[in-house]
Structure 1
Amino acid sequence: MKITRKSIAIIVATAAASSMLSFAAPVAGAATNTAVTSSRSFPKVNAPRKNLLAESTSTDVEKNSNWGGLGSMSVPKTKSTAEKDAAAKAKQEEQARVAAAAAAQQAEAASRSSARTSTSTSTNTSTTTTEQFTVTPPNAKTAAALVSYANQFIGQVPYIYGGSTTSGWDCSGFVMYVYAQFGISLPHSSGAQASAGTAVASLAEAQPGDIIANSAHAGIYIGNNMVVNALNPSKGTTTTAVSVAFTGSYSIRRLL
């Protein structure tokens, strides 16, 4: 009985060993008949990095890499304290320069205005002195006195469009100024002055002191077919023949 069990154990062990050998043989055969190769997933590193905590200074990125729009983000730029201080100082200097220039211009304008408008009146001689010349006020409210007064401005006052003072005037401004010294108020318009006062029929009937005017020009008749007038910027206040000062029709008006 004991022999039989021993024999069975030997037979079973032999069969198991044979089975294992039969399984290993095909595997070995397959290994010898088929070549199996492998490659590294990462590039070979020739020199190992010594300092693993050092910050990377450059990165190679493929041109077609997509970073989700991060590459085109606009990052606000900030200025250093020194840059801010320099900008503030430059701004203050510019403001000071502009203020100084404005003050200089104002002072210059005030000086010119004062020079133009300054007058001194002498109570002893009853004359008015302007910046450039002396004007004797009218001594009577007559046409002859008006012509005498108007002739004082010949060659003295420039022609300035829109002006109506001795600093400069245009044609109607001159007539308006002269007549104002005789208590007669006129509009600052040659066309309007052409309808003031009483009409005179013709130049042959005109008297010194009459106004000759149309829509383009105005002057004061002084006799002998002449007028005193502010003619133009090149001539200023001057005497002119009626035929030269006026083209076309005109009106003659009498106020004194």
Structure 2
Amino acid sequence: MKSTRTVSMLAAVAAVACMTTFAVVPAAQAADQAGTVTSSRSFPSYSVARKDLTVEATSTSAEADSNWGSTENLNVPHTQSQAEKDAAAAEKAAQEQAAREQAEAAAAASRSAERQTLSQSSDSDSSASSDSTSSGTTISAPAANASADALVAYATQFVGYPYVSGGNTPNGWDCSGFVQYVFAQFGISLPRTSGEQATVGTAVASIADAKPGDILANGTHAAIYIGNGLVINAMNPVQGTQICGLSVFYSSYSIRRVL
């Protein structure tokens, strides 16, 4: 009887345990379905604490009057802006223009002084064997024979004589005025302008066929050929009358022979 009662009690306990198990599982599943996640993570334990945790935060002291420099002491290259470059270029061009104007003014003043001296001097005899310019330079009379070599020899003595726009005498001439004057001393009358002088006499085919004494001319310049690719000509107010190469002609030209 007693053993029967004991078995009944054990069975009741087992039944209660089973009911408890089934009650817990659905509750866990319900919690999982509601989006609740439970996790656990274990970390290793440390028995020794780290030292020198602030080693990277150490600082260095400096004297209160220490000089660490400033941005003014930095050697930084200076790059000009486009506006600064344009301003510098304009200033340089202005300086060059001023220098040219000063040189031209000096040349004009020199020519003016020469003309004033000429007006105060007495006229020379046109039949004399030699003439003198206002600067006192003696001009040799042209040779009696009107040969090309004589004309070139006569023309080359005028190197350094002044350039005067519109002039046609040793006291000042322009390019065509110089050519006209030289040929006039040999009894040859030429037109006044370079464009007209480019049509006189006989045409020469090329510079390879040119001879000393030929006239080289176009609409803007005229010169006398002296051989070896050189001409004598009145160039400009600064350079005056000079011997130079054919590069003095910036465009094509005619070669004319009158002797």
TM-score by length of 2: 0.52
5 Å-filtered alignment, 1:202-241, equals: 202-241=206-245
Indicate conservation of the 8 Å contact 2:164/2:173, yes or no.
yes
1:138 matched residue in structure 2 = 142
1:147 matched residue in structure 2 = 152
The amino acid that maps onto 2:254 is: S
Taking a change above 3 Å as real, the CA distance of residues 223 and 247 of structure 1, as seen in their structure-2 partners, is same
1:180 matched residue in structure 2 = 184
- How much has 1:112 moved relative to structure 2? 4.2
- Residue 145 of structure 1 aligns to a residue whose secondary structure is helix
Deviations along 1:147-191, one digit per CA (max 9) or x if unpaired, are 000011101x21111001111000000000000001111111000
Return 5+ residue gaps in structure 2 as ranges: 1-112
2:249 matched residue in structure 1 = 246
2:205 matched residue in structure 1 = 201
Indicate conservation of the 8 Å contact 2:173/2:234, yes or no.
yes
* Residue 114 in structure 1 maps to residue 119 in structure 2: yes
Deviations along 1:30-69, one digit per CA (max 9) or x if unpaired, are xxxxxxxxxxxxxxxxxxxxxxxxxxxxxxxxxxxxxxxx
Q: Give RMSD over aligned pairs.
A: 2.3
CA distance in 1, matches of 2:139, 2:167: 18
CA distance in 2, matches of 1:208, 1:114: 35
2:167 matched residue in structure 1 = 163
- How much has 1:115 moved relative to structure 2? 3.8
Return 5+ residue gaps in structure 1 as ranges: 1-107
Indicate conservation of the 8 Å contact 2:175/2:222, yes or no.
yes
CA distance in 2, matches of 1:160, 1:236: 8
Taking a change above 3 Å as real, the CA distance of residues 117 and 237 of structure 1, as seen in their structure-2 partners, is farther
The number of residues matched between the two structures is 145
CA distance in 2, matches of 1:228, 1:177: 13
CA distance in 2, matches of 1:111, 1:169: 16
Deviations along 1:4-46, one digit per CA (max 9) or x if unpaired, are xxxxxxxxxxxxxxxxxxxxxxxxxxxxxxxxxxxxxxxxxxx
- Residue 152 of structure 1 aligns to a residue whose secondary structure is helix
Taking a change above 3 Å as real, the CA distance of residues 134 and 202 of structure 1, as seen in their structure-2 partners, is same
* Aligned-pair identity (%): 54
5 Å-filtered alignment, 1:38-117, equals: 112-115=117-120
- Residue 151 of structure 2 aligns to a residue whose secondary structure is helix
- How much has 1:131 moved relative to structure 2? 2.3
Deviations along 1:173-230, one digit per CA (max 9) or x if unpaired, are 0000000001111111000000000000000000000000000100000001000000
- How much has 1:130 moved relative to structure 2? 2.2
Taking a change above 3 Å as real, the CA distance of residues 233 and 160 of structure 1, as seen in their structure-2 partners, is same
CA distance in 1, matches of 2:248, 2:121: 28
TM-score by length of 1: 0.53
Taking a change above 3 Å as real, the CA distance of residues 184 and 217 of structure 1, as seen in their structure-2 partners, is same
CA distance in 2, matches of 1:116, 1:161: 23
The amino acid that maps onto 1:250 is: Y
